[in-house]
Amino acid sequence: MKITLEQLQKIAIFMELNPAHLSQIQPHATLKPYAQGEIILHEGDRLPAKLFAVFSGVIQIKKTAFTGKETILRTLPAGEIFAAPALFGDGISPATVVADRDCQILTIDRLALLGLIQQNPEVAFRMISLLNDRIQKLHSAVHGLVSERAIVRLAQFVQLSISESGVETTLEGTYLRSRLTYYQIARSIGITYEECVRLFKQLPMVSYQRGGKIRLLNVGELESIALGNLP
């Protein structure tokens, strides 16, 4: 499926580019749909030399240990790029990528992207900045798994979700915009499903409701727990 210039501008690294510049990569850009739960990339796959981006929907990036334990490394919404080794590394997928809900994945041939970067170096800087930010967050997550208590990691994860997906206010209260299951949260912070259920009961400043809805009752107290200030 081909893509329009307006659609290309929905990808974060292309948002501020002139449509005339984007027209040179338009013929080399395609969209492919994936159903919820469908695997987009397997860990260890040989990647084609392309830019990968989430055009619509949400994806999860997962890693499975030799013990079989699965960890969700990142959840990426529309507009984000992924599978960096296809452009900069060894061309091997370092993790498994799964459609968290129905989505469309955009790909752009590497040579066409390099031609765009030659004319617009700021595209490369945006990519580097984005990838550096992810490295920093991954470092913080790994450090947290080693040194922070599980309830602190849970509070930090909810805070991160607030900053990434935002909140919505209804007559019933303020809710996290994204829906997060116990399983998804547990696999993201390195705990079991059962422990995740128990920890939510120990965080009175948030309320987990059916369908993965998280109500925010006291963001200030949540931030305090995320900083390690435990009662």
Residue 124 to residues 6, 14, 20, 23, 85: CA-CA distances in angstroms?
A: 20, 10, 18, 18, 15
Q: Rounded to an integer, what is the distance from CA 226 to the centroid of its chain?
A: 20
Q: What residue ranges define each of the domains in the chain, with the CATH number in brackets?
A: 5-144 (2.60.120.10), 148-226 (1.10.10.10)
The torsion angle over the Cα atoms of residues 200, 202, 206 and 210, rounded to 10 degrees, is 30
| Lowest-pLDDT range of 2-16, 85-99, 141-155, 166-180 | 141-155
Q: Mean pLDDT over residues 104-129, rounded? A: 85
| Lowest-pLDDT range of 38-42, 59-63, 67-71, 113-117 | 67-71
Question: What pLDDT is attached to residue 216?
Answer: 93
Reported as a pLDDT band with limits 50, 70 and 90, residue 143 is low
Residue 205 has pLDDT above 60, yes or no: yes
Residue 209 and residue 194: Cα distance in Å, rounded?
16
Tell how strand 103-109 and strand 173-176 pair up.
Answer: unpaired
pLDDT greater at residue 56 or residue 89: 56
Tell how strand 213-216 and strand 206-209 pair up.
Answer: antiparallel
Residue 164 and residue 182: Cα distance in Å, rounded?
18
Residue 59 and residue 38: Cα distance in Å, rounded?
10
173: burial class by Cβ within 10 Å (0-12, 13-18, 19+)? exposed
Return the closest-CA partner of residue 54 out of 70, 32, 26. 32
Question: What pLDDT is attached to residue 24?
Answer: 86
pLDDT greater at residue 64 or residue 214: 214
Residue 177 has pLDDT above 70, yes or no: yes
4, two tokens: 């329009």
